[in-house]
Amino acid sequence: MPAASHDHQQCVHKALKTAEQLCLERGVQLTSIRQQVLALIWESHKAVKAYDLLDKIKPLQHAAKPATIYRALDFLIEQGLIHRVESLNAFVGCRCSDHKHEQLLLICKLCHEVEERTAQHVMHVLNEEFKQAGFSAHSKAIEIHGVCAKCAVNS
């Protein structure tokens, strides 16, 4: 988990630079609204709901509608720049967006921060289970709710 003195602006800057580079390499357009949505998601390590994003975008993009936000979110997910946190119906930035991966999301019930882990060993074991069951998984994300290390120390 990020430290209390953590500078989210560094996260925003890194995420935007990575997004610009990946979109350039892939020949897709990172529009202004997509950049703004990505920056807002990276303002913290907490999952952000679409309507909260809309509220934050409105002062910058007066004509923004829910569909505007959802289109931007769909693009960012498709490019692997963010993840949807299904259990919260919210979105969080992807810290490994430069390569395709499955993820384990650790969601703190106290501070609400979400830590992304690639959990390669866990995913390997799951893949073996799928193989034994003859099951073909199309996407894999595991969400675990609990208490992060920072909150455990502070409580």
Give the pLDDT confidence of 35-72 residue by residue, as tens digits: 999 999 999 889 999 999 999 998 888 888 999 999 99
Average pLDDT by consecutive 10-residue portion of the chain (155 residues)? 65 92 95 95 94 92 90 95 94 84 90 90 90 88 93 87
Residue 1 falls inside a structural domain: no
Residue 53 falls inside a structural domain: yes
Residue 149 falls inside a structural domain: yes
Q: What's the structural domain count of the chain?
A: 1
Residue 3 falls inside a structural domain: no
In this structure, which amino acid lies at residue 5?
S
Q: What are the E-state strand segments in the chain?
A: 82-85, 90-93, 103-108, 114-117, 141-146
Is 148 a known ligand-binding residue?
yes
Is 151 a known ligand-binding residue?
yes
CATH number at residue 136: 1.10.10.10
Residue 64 falls inside a structural domain: yes
Q: Quick check: helix, strand or coil at residue 128? A: helix
Which domain range does residue 120 map to? 8-154
Neighbouring-strand partners of residue 84: 91
Q: Which is nearest to 91 in space by CA: 101, 77, 102, 104?
A: 77
Q: Average pLDDT, whole number, for the chain?
A: 90
